[in-house]
Structure 1
Amino acid sequence: MTFDSARWQRRFDELRAAHHVPGATLAVLVDGEVHELATGVLHRGTGVAATTDSLFQVGSITKIHTATLVMQLAEEGALDLDAPVRAVLPDFTVADAGASKTITARQLLSHTSGLTCDFTHDTGRGDDCLAAYVEAAADVPLDCPPGTGISYSSVGYNVLGRIVEVLTGQTWDAALRDRLCVPLGLTHTVTLPEEVLRFRAAMGHLGAAGTDPDPAPVWNPLPRSAGPYGGVLCATAADVLRLARMHLDGGTAPDGTRLLRPETVAAMQRRETDCPDKWTVDSDGWGLGWTLYDWDGTPGFGHDGATIGQYGFLRVAPEAGVAAVLLTNGGGARRLYSDLFRELLGELAGVRMPAPFGPPAQPVPVRLGDRAGTYRREGVEITMSERDGVPHLRYAFVDGMAGLAPAIESDLIAVSETVFAGRADGAFGDDWLPVVFWTLEDGTGCVYVGMRATPKVA
Structure 2
Amino acid sequence: MSHKKEENTTKLNYYHWQNRLNELRENCQIPGASLAVLTDGKIHELASGVLHRGTGVDVTTDSLFQVGSITKVYTATLVMQLVDSGELDLDTPLKKIFPEFTVPEADAITIRQLLSHTSGLTSDFTFDTGRGDDCLEHYIEAAKELKLDSKPGTIVSYSSVGYNVLGRIIEVLIGQTWDDALRDRLITPLGLTSTVTLPEEVLRFRAAMGHLGPDPVPFWNLLPRSAGPSGGALCATAADLIRFAKVYLDDGEAPDNTRILTNETVTAMLHLEAKTPDKWTSGNEGWGLGWMLYDWDDVKVFGHDGATIGQNGYLRVVPETGTAIALLTNGGASDLLHSVLFRELFEELAGVRMPDKAFGPSSQPPMVDIAPFIGTYERKGVVITITEHNGILHLVYEINDGRKDPSPSLEIKLIPVSETVFAGAAGQDWIPVVFHKLMDGSIFCYIGMRAAPKIS
**Residue matched to 1:435:** 433
Structure 1 residues 202, 128: closer, same or farther in 2, change over 3 A? same
Q: Does 1:330 align with 2:328?
A: no
Write the distance in 2 (CA, Å) between the matches of 1:441 and 1:284: 22
**Residue matched to 1:286:** 287
Write the distance in 2 (CA, Å) between the matches of 1:250 and 1:400: 46
Write the distance in 2 (CA, Å) between the matches of 1:313 and 1:362: 34
Amino acid at match of 1:410: I
Deviation at 1:370, TM superposition (A): 2.2
Q: Does 1:156 align with 2:158?
A: no
Q: Does 1:310 align with 2:311?
A: yes
Equivalent of 2:123 in 111, 117, 121: 117
Write the distance in 2 (CA, Å) between the matches of 1:175 and 1:12: 35
Can you list the C-alpha shifts for 1:137-185, whole angstroms capped at 9, x where unaligned? 1111222110110010001001100010011100000000000000000
**Residue matched to 2:421:** 419
Can you list the C-alpha shifts for 1:64-104, whole angstroms capped at 9, x where unaligned? 0000000000000000110111222232232x1xx221211
Matches within 5 A, 1:268-287: 268-287=269-288
**Residue matched to 1:397:** 399
Deviation at 1:4, TM superposition (A): 0.8
Matches within 5 A, 1:226-265: 226-265=227-266
**Residue matched to 2:6:** none
Q: Does 1:174 align with 2:172?
A: no
Matches within 5 A, 1:206-245: 206-207=212-213, 213-245=214-246
Matches within 5 A, 1:351-390: 351-355=352-356, 356-366=358-368, 368-390=370-392
Structure 1 residues 404, 289: closer, same or farther in 2, change over 3 A? farther
Structure 1 residues 403, 441: closer, same or farther in 2, change over 3 A? farther
Native 8 Å contact 1:397 1:403 kept in 2: no
TM-score normalised according to structure 2 size: 0.95
**Residue matched to 2:5:** none
Write the distance in 2 (CA, Å) between the matches of 1:124 and 1:396: 27
Write the distance in 2 (CA, Å) between the matches of 1:328 and 1:440: 38
Matches within 5 A, 1:5-84: 5-84=14-93
Can you list the C-alpha shifts for 1:269-290, whole angstroms capped at 9, x where unaligned? 0011110000111012110000
Can you list the C-alpha shifts for 1:340-365, whole angstroms capped at 9, x where unaligned? 11111122222222222222243334
**Residue matched to 1:200:** 206
Write the distance in 1 (CA, Å) between the matches of 2:406 and 2:301: 35
Equivalent of 1:106 in 112, 132, 147: 112
Structure 1 runs not aligned, ≥5 long:
208-212
Native 8 Å contact 1:380 1:401 kept in 2: no
Deviation at 1:402, TM superposition (A): 7.0
Structure 2 runs not aligned, ≥5 long:
1-9
Amino acid at match of 2:443: G
Query: Between the two proteins, what is the percent identity of the paired residues?
Result: 65
Aligned residue for 2:279, secondary structure, equals coil
Amino acid at match of 1:174: D
Structure 1 residues 412, 118: closer, same or farther in 2, change over 3 A? same
Of the structure 1 ranges 349-358 and 303-312, higher mean CA displacement relative to structure 2 is found in 349-358
Aligned residue for 1:423, secondary structure, equals strand
**Residue matched to 1:147:** 153
Write the distance in 1 (CA, Å) between the matches of 2:170 and 2:406: 31
Deviation at 1:406, TM superposition (A): 1.0
Can you list the C-alpha shifts for 1:410-440, whole angstroms capped at 9, x where unaligned? 1122211111111334xxxx64211001113
Write the distance in 1 (CA, Å) between the matches of 2:152 and 2:421: 24
**Residue matched to 1:409:** 411
Deviation at 1:399, TM superposition (A): 3.7
TM-score normalised according to structure 1 size: 0.95
Of the structure 1 ranges 118-127 and 356-365, higher mean CA displacement relative to structure 2 is found in 356-365
Amino acid at match of 1:80: D
Aligned residue for 1:357, secondary structure, equals coil
Amino acid at match of 1:188: S
Structure 1 residues 423, 215: closer, same or farther in 2, change over 3 A? farther
**Residue matched to 1:88:** 97
Equivalent of 2:137 in 126, 131, 147: 131
Aligned residue for 1:184, secondary structure, equals coil
**Residue matched to 1:299:** 300
Write the distance in 1 (CA, Å) between the matches of 2:186 and 2:301: 23
Deviation at 1:441, TM superposition (A): 5.2
Q: Does 1:185 align with 2:191?
A: yes
Write the distance in 1 (CA, Å) between the matches of 2:352 and 2:158: 26
Write the distance in 1 (CA, Å) between the matches of 2:123 and 2:404: 15
**Residue matched to 1:210:** none
Write the distance in 2 (CA, Å) between the matches of 1:443 and 1:262: 41
Structure 1 residues 404, 37: closer, same or farther in 2, change over 3 A? farther
Of the structure 1 ranges 78-87 and 53-62, higher mean CA displacement relative to structure 2 is found in 78-87
